[in-house]
Chain A
Amino acid sequence: MSQTSFGIHTPFAATLLERRDLSADTALFKVAPEKAALPALSRFVPGQFVQLSVPGAGEVPISPADLPSMDGSLELCVRRVGHVTEHLHHLPAGSKLALRGPFGTGFPIREMAGHPVLLLAGGLGIAPLRSLLFHLIRHSQEFGEITLMYGARQPKLMLFREELSALAAQGKLRLYLTVDFAPEQPAGTFSCTVGLLPDLLKGFSFDAKRTYAAVCGPPPLYRCLTVELEDAGVEARRIFLSLERRMRCGIGRCCHCALGQKLCCTDGPVFRLDELQQIPEAL
């Protein structure tokens, strides 16, 4: 159900249920929207985004990091990086928030059915891919092999580490973790590869012709990773990237999220690589 015309600017009321710190500057916020929002907000596709309002601060576009739940609550993984997110990070549980959405295109979960799926996440890019991963795992019989390659700057910045390791231990996915550098770690703690995500991909053998790739991370990562993926044999039309722009309105009006002649909020934020290759400023 889409929002009424009266409601395109008016968000639904929501409450901050709990927050879980994932790193020094990143936390997972569990947000429960009011009942009236459930028909719209409980039907998002992984990769779509919602506009989260922090009263007095403003709105930010955030892609949920989980799947639609029975009670309608959403998990939003947010780094403290700007005006609105700074305010959000100071709020105690029970605080009032507001939500609009969902907006934009998600990952093409129907099109991916029957194919192996390779998820590539850099840093905070794990957030929307965690949502997609949960979908793939929940419907694993519909998909081929599920692989997640996740790179972070250093071990303590690797989000959802235990959760992902536990899922991998249950055989739900193939998990490859890498960090850019590993400072001293006490013996017996977490260990993973040290290196960049594209390096990880180099030594990886997979059915590239049939694989769908979903990528989310910082722009420099896209530039090198897409080359590696195409070199490995993944077709550009099967590589999907989730882009970040400053969507103000979410409905294709304010033009802040423009890339070339496309708008990130309505044509994206998930784009096919071959679409983006025509747009000089996209990546």
Chain B
Amino acid sequence: MKTRFLCQNQLPEFLKILQLFGELHGPTVTDAGVTAFAALEDPSALRLDYQRTQIPPKKYLIPFREELLQYRDDTYHQNEIKAPEIVLFGVHSCDLEGIAYLDLVFLGDRPDPCYSARRAGLTLVGISCEPDDFCFCNGSFETAPCDLFLTARQDGFELSVSSAKGEAIASAAQHLLTEVQPFPQTERPTCPIRPQDPELRFSENPLWDKFARTCVSCGACSVCCPTCYCFDVREYPSLSGGGSRLREWDNCLFATHGEVAGGNFRPTRLERLRFRFLHKYCGFTPLDGMTSCVGCGRCKQLCPVDIDLREIIDTQPKTTPELP
């Protein structure tokens, strides 16, 4: 069986084909110097050598703030959801796994209409990556869910199609592709997340206290996490009589998260840190037992006080993965 191959020098033409399927977005560097997924009006702004963006692609599916309902004429109305067709190019497998997890949450029982509309308009083109010191994914990038996946090979990319949409793109780009012999599978260095020892969750591990003493509850680790999706719902009346109900990203590290009338169920940083860890690594109803950490390394890279949860995860001494 042959495999389809895209030569490096055909990439600009390939991106033009992708633009036929929607607005092209991909990793780039903003004017502020931040690596981010953004619209690529000029495809030469694409930075495929990136390690990770600051904000994961969840922003395409769950905007930081979105209107759920409008209140007018004595009733609440759901507005028509306008979801643009977007081709998100150059997504690493960890972020693809993150989207797969969000799909389970938002498209499972009682699908979320806003998420569903945005997800339907999103075409995902994944790309292989080279891990750095912050990465700790399980390296199963062949199985990462997407429409099309590009594995970097010498002088180009090997294409793997995994959906009808992906096949449509590959067909449209047929003239840019060549058929080659399949590449031998390469071993990828991994630093997988080890299965959790339940005792660790609320154990007396002194590391928890150490983390809690340094944590500033800034919430950066949740904001940059590809699978954190907590939200708050707020209602804003308008002066003209109506109003709108919005949902916004929320953060379980904020003291307000566990508040109830007259109390707080997670008043200390220690409790909130443990709660986040518990949810991330041991799952939640109905995804109990499912680790949602994809090992992208953002939380470790962005933490202002260098908290590294891997210290707790790794019961054995940490080994640095060997780079190829």
Tell whether A144 is near chain B: CB-to-CB under 8 Å: no
Question: Contacts A81-B262, A98-B76, A262-B285 known; A254 to B68 CB distance under 8 Å?
Answer: no
Give the total of B residues in contact with A, Cβ under 8 Å.
Answer: 49
Do residues A252 and B286 form an inter-chain contact, with CB atoms below 8 A?
yes
Question: Contacts A9-B69, A248-B231, A256-B230 known; A81 to B261 CB distance under 8 Å?
Answer: yes
- Which residue on chain A has the smallest CB distance to residue B107? A5
Shortest distance between the CB of A241 and any CB in chain B (Å): 14
Q: Mark A218-257, 1 if CB is under 8 A from B, else 0.
A: 1100000000000000000000000011101101111110
Q: Mark A258-271, 1 if CB is under 8 A from B, else 0.
A: 11111100110000
Do residues B231 and A261 form an inter-chain contact, with CB atoms below 8 A?
no
- Distance, CA A75 to CA B279, complexed state (A): 36
Question: Contacts A82-B261, A281-B265 known; A11 to B76 CB distance under 8 Å?
Answer: yes
- For chain A, the bracket of interface size reads 35 or more
- Distance, CA A13 to CA B283, complexed state (A): 36
Q: Which residues of A contact B76 (CB under 8 A)?
A: 10-11, 13, 53, 55, 98
Question: Contacts A8-B112, A13-B74, A55-B71 known; A263 to B284 CB distance under 8 Å?
Answer: yes
Do residues B278 and A5 form an inter-chain contact, with CB atoms below 8 A?
no
Do residues B78 and A254 form an inter-chain contact, with CB atoms below 8 A?
no
Do residues A6 and B235 form an inter-chain contact, with CB atoms below 8 A?
no
Do residues A248 and B285 form an inter-chain contact, with CB atoms below 8 A?
no
Q: Which residues of A contact B231 (CB under 8 A)?
A: 248-249, 253-255
Tell whether B65 is near chain A: CB-to-CB under 8 Å: no
- Distance, CA A281 to CA B268, complexed state (A): 12
Q: Mark A19-54, 1 if CB is under 8 A from B, else 0.
A: 000000000000000000000000000000000010
Do residues A13 and B75 form an inter-chain contact, with CB atoms below 8 A?
yes
- Distance, CA A255 to CA B76, complexed state (A): 23
Do residues B77 and A259 form an inter-chain contact, with CB atoms below 8 A?
no
Which of B233, B257, B266, B278 has the largest number of chain A CB atoms within 10 A?
Answer: B233
Partner-binding segment picked from A56-64, A172-180, A192-200: A56-64
Do residues B285 and A96 form an inter-chain contact, with CB atoms below 8 A?
no
Tell whether A2 is near chain B: CB-to-CB under 8 Å: yes
- Distance, CA A219 to CA B230, complexed state (A): 25
Q: Which residues of B contact A186 (CB under 8 A)?
A: none
- Distance, CA A263 to CA B271, complexed state (A): 17
Question: Contacts A56-B235, A57-B235, A253-B105 known; A280 to B285 CB distance under 8 Å?
Answer: no
Q: Which residues of A contact B278 (CB under 8 A)?
A: 260-261
Question: Which of B74, B111, B250 is in CB contact (< 8 Å) with A254?
Answer: B250
Do residues B74 and A261 form an inter-chain contact, with CB atoms below 8 A?
no
Tell whether B134 is near chain A: CB-to-CB under 8 Å: no
- Distance, CA A3 to CA B112, complexed state (A): 12
Tell whether B202 is near chain A: CB-to-CB under 8 Å: yes
- Distance, CA A260 to CA B288, complexed state (A): 11
- Distance, CA A49 to CA B268, complexed state (A): 29
Tell whether B243 is near chain A: CB-to-CB under 8 Å: yes
Question: Which of A56, A248, A256, A261 is in CB contact (< 8 Å) with B71?
Answer: A56
Q: Mark B59-79, 1 if CB is under 8 A from A, else 0.
A: 000000000110100111110
Do residues B284 and A5 form an inter-chain contact, with CB atoms below 8 A?
no
Question: Contacts A255-B279, A258-B279 known; A10 to B232 CB distance under 8 Å?
Answer: no
Question: Contacts A13-B74, A246-B260 known; A58 to B233 CB distance under 8 Å?
Answer: yes
- Distance, CA A169 to CA B178, complexed state (A): 89
Tell whether B229 is near chain A: CB-to-CB under 8 Å: yes
Shortest distance between the CB of B112 and any CB in chain A (Å): 7
Tell me the chain B residues, 115-174 only, with Cβ under 8 Å from chain A.
116
On B, residues with C-beta under 8 Å from A are 68-69, 71, 74-78, 105-106, 109-113, 116, 202, 229-235, 237, 243, 245, 247, 250, 252, 257-263, 265-266, 271, 275, 278-279, 282-286, 288
Q: A5-B112, A266-B286 are in contact. List 20 more A-B contacts (CB 8 A).
A: A5-B113, A8-B113, A53-B76, A55-B74, A55-B243, A57-B235, A57-B237, A58-B245, A59-B235, A244-B260, A249-B231, A253-B105, A254-B233, A254-B250, A256-B250, A258-B279, A261-B279, A262-B284, A263-B285, A281-B258
15 cross-chain CB contacts under 8 A? A5-B110, A9-B68, A9-B245, A13-B75, A55-B74, A55-B237, A245-B260, A246-B259, A246-B260, A255-B252, A258-B252, A258-B284, A262-B284, A266-B285, A281-B258
